[in-house]
Every structure is written in structure tokens, then in C-alpha cells.
């Protein structure tokens, strides 16, 4: 793989070497002592928090390369979210492509979706206006609201491009079109993020 990594470095808590950190990493979890480390200017600082994820069935594994068609990627981190009031949970994997760029892949009970953040200036319906089953035009697609909920981070692993802490919550909605179109809107304090999703057939995901 091409290497946009910035450095090799050590965990301030236990001294173990961390895996090579990606240029865009802001946070890493030590694989040995599970301490959360903040990364800034290629330096790591211990955040003092510990995060341990219990394993749930997944094809993806941290540090293992996978191939889908001509596309090769390696999971470098993940965030586990619980949805609603303890209704279940799913993983968001941060993956690095062989080209060096990164993407997110969500894994919810055997379903895998590649998510691409859309740079979108148009109007996005406010969370409070959403209703299940309502029709919405977004990104030039005819969509229906299929889920309105909130998510709470319950664990992190590996390295991540953003500071996320267990307990952090955000609200979101899933919108689906008739031809497998998937759009997710994410509502943070003062911003709305829009993601386009593409289903990934788990049988197409092979160890590289």
C-alpha cells in the first residue's frame, strides 16, 4: 500500500508501539492497554480513557486487507454505536484504500454499506420535520424516510479521523429510494452531514 503514514510512535501509558498512524488520524486506541490517545502534530497524548469492544460477528478485521473487485482496503479503526435506547448496535469502520484515501463502511447485522460524505449545499430537512414514510427529494433522488433515531458511541478501536468519546450522541435519519439508493443525514449540534451509501455484498468481500 502507498504510505501516507506520519510516524511510528509509542503509547504514553504502557510504552507499546502504536501501529503507523495515518496522516488524518486524530485519535488512536492502544491495542495493548486500550488507552485512548489523542494525536496532534504527530505527537500522541494519553486521554486517560479506556475503550474495549466486545467482538460481534463481522467479516472485517482491524489490520487485515480486504478486496472487493479491484478495490483493496484495510480497516484501521472503528466506532461502535448503539441506536436508540439500547435497541442494538452497529459498527462504523474507518478503512484505508490502497490509493491512500479513506472511507467509512458500516456493518449492521451482516449488512455492509460504503458511505461517502456528500458536499451538499442544498436544503436538508430538519430532524424535527422528519416523519417515517414521508417522501423527500434529496441529492436529486426520490427517497422515503425509513428510520429516525439517535446513536450513542459505546466504544472505539484502532485509529480514527475525529475525536469521538464513548457517550457522544448524534441524531440521524435513513432515507431509501426504490433502486437501493441510500442516504443518511446526521444531525450534530450545529451542522448536518449528508452521506450517500452503496450496499456492499458480503460475499464479494474477500481477504486480499
Q: Residue 33 CB, nearest distance to Zn ion (Å)?
A: 3
Query: How many residues in the shown chain lie near Zn ion by CB under 5 A?
Result: 8
Q: Residue 11 CB, nearest distance to Zn ion (Å)?
A: 3
Cα–Cα distances (Å) from 107 to 31, 32, 131, 164, 187, in that order, read 21, 25, 25, 18, 20
Which one, 35 or 106, has the nearer CB to Zn ion? 35
Which one, 32 or 199, has the nearer CB to Zn ion? 32
**Under rule CB under 5 A, which residues in 9-68 are in contact with Zn ion?**
11, 13-14, 16, 30, 32-33, 35
Q: Residue 45 CB, nearest distance to Zn ion (Å)?
A: 13
Which one, 4 or 12, has the nearer CB to Zn ion? 12
**Under rule CB under 5 A, which residues in 137-196 are in contact with Zn ion?**
none
Which one, 1 or 14, has the nearer CB to Zn ion? 14
Could you give the angle at the alpha carbon of 1 between the alpha carbons of 8 and 3, nearest 5°? 40
Q: Residue 113 CB, nearest distance to Zn ion (Å)?
A: 32
Which one, 48 or 100, has the nearer CB to Zn ion? 48
Q: Residue 31 CB, nearest distance to Zn ion (Å)?
A: 8
Which one, 17 or 208, has the nearer CB to Zn ion? 17
How would you write the chain as a 3-class SS string? CCCCEEEEEECCCCCCEEEEEECCCCEEECCCCCEEEEEECCEEEEEEEECCCCCCCCCCCCCCCEEECCEEEEEEEEEEEEECCCCCEEEEEEEEECCCCEEEEEEECCEEEEEEEECCCCCCCCHHHCCCCCEEEECCEEEEEEEEEEEEEEEEEEEECCCCCCCCEEEEEEEECCCCCEEEEEEECCEEEEEEEEEECHHHCEEC
Which window, 4-12, 73-81, 98-106, 110-118, contacts Zn ion (CB under 5 A)? 4-12
Q: Residue 160 CB, nearest distance to Zn ion (Å)?
A: 16
Contact positions vs Zn ion (CB under 5 A): 11, 13-14, 16, 30, 32-33, 35
Amino acid at each position: 500500500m502507498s504510505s501516507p503514514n506520519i510516524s511510528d510512535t509509542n503509547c504514553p501509558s504502557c510504552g507499546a508501539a502504536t501501529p503507523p498512524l495515518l496522516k488524518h488520524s486524530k485519535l488512536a486506541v492502544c491495542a495493548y492497554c486500550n488507552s485512548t490517545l489523542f494525536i496532534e502534530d504527530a505527537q500522541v497524548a494519553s486521554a486517560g480513557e479506556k475503550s474495549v469492544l466486545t467482538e460481534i460477528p463481522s467479516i472485517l478485521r482491524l489490520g487485515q486487507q480486504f478486496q472487493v473487485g479491484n478495490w483493496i482496503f484495510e480497516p484501521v479503526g472503528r466506532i461502535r454505536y448503539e441506536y436508540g435506547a439500547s435497541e442494538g448496535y452497529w459498527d462504523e469502520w474507518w478503512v484505508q484504500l490502497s490509493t491512500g484515501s479513506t472511507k467509512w463502511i458500516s456493518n449492521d447485522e451482516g449488512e455492509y454499506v460504503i458511505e461517502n460524505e456528500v458536499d451538499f449545499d442544498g436544503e436538508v430537512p430538519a430532524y424535527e420535520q422528519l416523519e417515517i414514510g414521508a417522501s423527500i427529494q434529496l441529492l436529486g433522488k426520490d427517497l422515503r424516510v425509513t428510520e429516525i433515531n439517535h446513536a450513542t458511541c459505546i466504544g472505539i478501536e484502532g485509529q480514527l479521523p475525529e475525536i469521538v468519546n464513548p457517550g457522544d450522541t448524534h441524531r440521524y435519519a435513513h432515507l431509501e429510494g426504490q433502486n437501493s439508493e441510500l442516504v443518511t443525514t446526521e444531525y450534530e449540534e450545529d451542522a448536518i452531514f449528508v452521506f450517500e451509501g452503496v450496499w456492499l455484498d458480503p460475499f464479494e468481500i474477500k481477504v486480499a
